[in-house]
A and B are shown apart, each in its own frame.
Chain A
Amino acid sequence: MITLKNIKKSFNGRIILNNLNLEIKDGEILAIVGPSGAGKTTLLRALVGLDTIDSGEILVDNQAFDPSNNANDKNMIGVVFQDYNLFPNLSVRENIGLAPRLVLKQDKQVVAQQTNELLTKLRLADKAKLYPFELSGGMKQRVAIARALAMQPKVLAYDEPTSALDPSMRNEVANLLLALKKDGVTQIIVTHDVELANKVADNIFTVTPLS
């Protein structure tokens, strides 16, 4: 379980998050919704260690957790970015297998096998040798999910997973999130897409802009 206690974050003197409290239970899908500028992405970035918080506590299973500390459990949180942020110089297979090989120090054959499984699971098996510029938005997103899953994260966080996709792809993303839930992956979705939130989330947390 992840607990956020009294989280405070401001940018240039403007308070974005003020005494925010939130609980994310193991295996659930939590949707964080709210209007633009309310601080949804700020919250996500703080949670994954891309931004620091001004004050407050992040606890994982009631133990203090500093997401920006690189000595952390490398499998804690995976992130799927809004713009996917795939590495353009690496093929689909290389994007997925790079971190398990270099960071988790997994054996080459283990990485290859795991990558094959993820490629099949995310219907990318025939795209393994392609480069990101050769993929559609939906494919890029699936590669980004596969890349995050390859690190076997306990929690998977998405920033606006449907913002760049057409309606048919949105359903596909929703089904994918539900399938990953069945595998026991805790998921946090930051989204404008209330329809998606209603469809997949166990809990919805609304961030309201501070005046």
Chain B
Amino acid sequence: MEYFEVLLPSLLAGVWVTLKIFCLTIIGAIPIGIIVGLGLKSEFAPVRWLLNGYVWLMRGTPLLLQLIFVFYGLPIIHITFERYDAALFAFILNYAAYFAEIFRGGFQAIPTGQLEAAKVLHLNSWQTQTRIVLPQVFKNVLPPMGNEIINLIKDSSLVYVIGIGDLLRAGNIAAARDVTLIPYILVGIIYLLLTAITTLILRRLETYFSYYK
């Protein structure tokens, strides 16, 4: 028990870092994902090509490589980020690409007839998107977004590689210092708790949106 008391502050500090990366990535990546998702349907071909290239690049290379590239690679061409900023930059760019593909599918699932109904009612583009399209898109994308959000909790441990003191790093330091498996087990339990809470919140959201079909 005493060991837990010794261990807990450093693990909680790590949880705080993990949660910050998680939340800020969500806050940054969702709006970018929506905009890129809309752009992927653009009638202007160069915009589509550019955004498809971005999505292909982000989804086709490992997030770990992207993190290393941003933090260790970019300084070679004199673009330098703080550790934490580098992590956020790489995470937001990577997750926005995944979210964009999900949102693109969500937008495509809205029947054209509804857009035509909005048009003949003279709703403008903003009113159509905010009142008709986006509420339905959010409902449509919740299950696939949920998967990515759960992945994000686990992926956040990758920041370890650029020396950020997240949950995994806190556990690893304790395990190496005390030569015991307990920190790893605790880290695992905390990740399980975080994913369980997130899953619960996502289920609540799905239930909230189930008032219509």
Q: Does B3 contact A (CB under 8 A)?
A: no
Contact assessment for B114 and A48 in the assembled complex, using a CB-CB cutoff below 8 Å: no
Q: Does B163 contact A (CB under 8 A)?
A: no
Contact assessment for B119 and A99 in the assembled complex, using a CB-CB cutoff below 8 Å: no
1/0 per residue, CB under 8 A from A, across B142-166: the answer is: 0000000000000000000000000
Given contacts A88-B212, A89-B212, A70 and B117 within 8 Å (CB-CB): no
Q: Which of B113, B131, B136 contacts A102 (CB 8 A)?
A: B131
Contact assessment for B121 and A147 in the assembled complex, using a CB-CB cutoff below 8 Å: yes
1/0 per residue, CB under 8 A from B, across A155-199: the answer is: 000000000000000000000000000000000000000000000
Query: How close is B3's CB to chain A, nearest CB, in angstroms?
Result: 52
Query: How close is B201's CB to chain A, nearest CB, in angstroms?
Result: 21
**Across-interface contacts of B135 in A (CB, < 8 A):** 89
Complex CA–CA separation, A151 to B117 (angstroms): 13
Total contacting residues, chain A, CB less than 8 A = 25
Given contacts A87-B114, A89-B139, A131 and B212 within 8 Å (CB-CB): yes
Interface window among A1-9, A31-39, A77-85, A112-120: A77-85
Q: Does B208 contact A (CB under 8 A)?
A: no
- In the complex formed, the residue of B with least CB distance to A75 is B122
Q: Which of A74, A77, A85, A131 contacts B117 (CB 8 A)?
A: A85
Q: Which of A50, A98, A133 contacts B213 (CB 8 A)?
A: A133
Contact assessment for A99 and B122 in the assembled complex, using a CB-CB cutoff below 8 Å: yes
Given contacts A81-B116, A85-B113, A87-B114, A133 and B212 within 8 Å (CB-CB): yes
Complex CA–CA separation, A63 to B205 (angstroms): 52
Q: Is the interface of B mostly helix, strand, loop or mixed?
A: helix
Contact assessment for B127 and A102 in the assembled complex, using a CB-CB cutoff below 8 Å: yes
Contact assessment for A77 and B122 in the assembled complex, using a CB-CB cutoff below 8 Å: no
Interface size class on chain B is: 20 to 34
Query: How close is B139's CB to chain A, nearest CB, in angstroms?
Result: 7
Which residues between 61 and 111 of chain A lie within 8 Å of chain B, taking CB atoms?
70, 74, 77-79, 81, 83, 85-90, 98-99, 102-103
Query: How close is B179's CB to chain A, nearest CB, in angstroms?
Result: 57
Complex CA–CA separation, A90 to B117 (angstroms): 13
Given contacts A50-B116, A85-B114, A85-B116, A99 and B121 within 8 Å (CB-CB): yes
Contact assessment for B124 and A49 in the assembled complex, using a CB-CB cutoff below 8 Å: no
Complex CA–CA separation, A86 to B113 (angstroms): 9
Query: How close is B107's CB to chain A, nearest CB, in angstroms?
Result: 14
Complex CA–CA separation, A98 to B127 (angstroms): 10
Query: How close is A113's CB to chain B, nearest CB, in angstroms?
Result: 19
**Across-interface contacts of A99 in B (CB, < 8 A):** 121-123
- In the complex formed, the residue of A with least CB distance to B114 is A85
Query: How close is B54's CB to chain A, nearest CB, in angstroms?
Result: 30
Complex CA–CA separation, A100 to B213 (angstroms): 24
Would you list 20 pairs from A and B whose C-beta atoms are within 8 A, ordered by A residue?
A49-B120, A50-B116, A70-B122, A78-B120, A79-B120, A81-B116, A85-B111, A85-B113, A85-B116, A86-B117, A87-B114, A87-B118, A87-B132, A88-B114, A89-B136, A99-B123, A102-B127, A131-B211, A132-B212, A147-B121
Beyond known contacts A78-B120, A85-B116, A102-B131: 18 more, CB 8 A cutoff: A49-B119, A49-B120, A81-B117, A85-B111, A85-B117, A86-B117, A87-B117, A88-B136, A88-B212, A89-B135, A99-B123, A102-B123, A102-B127, A103-B121, A103-B122, A103-B123, A133-B212, A151-B121
Give residues in A with beta carbon < 8 Å to B: 48-50, 70, 74, 77-79, 81, 83, 85-90, 98-99, 102-103, 131-133, 147, 151
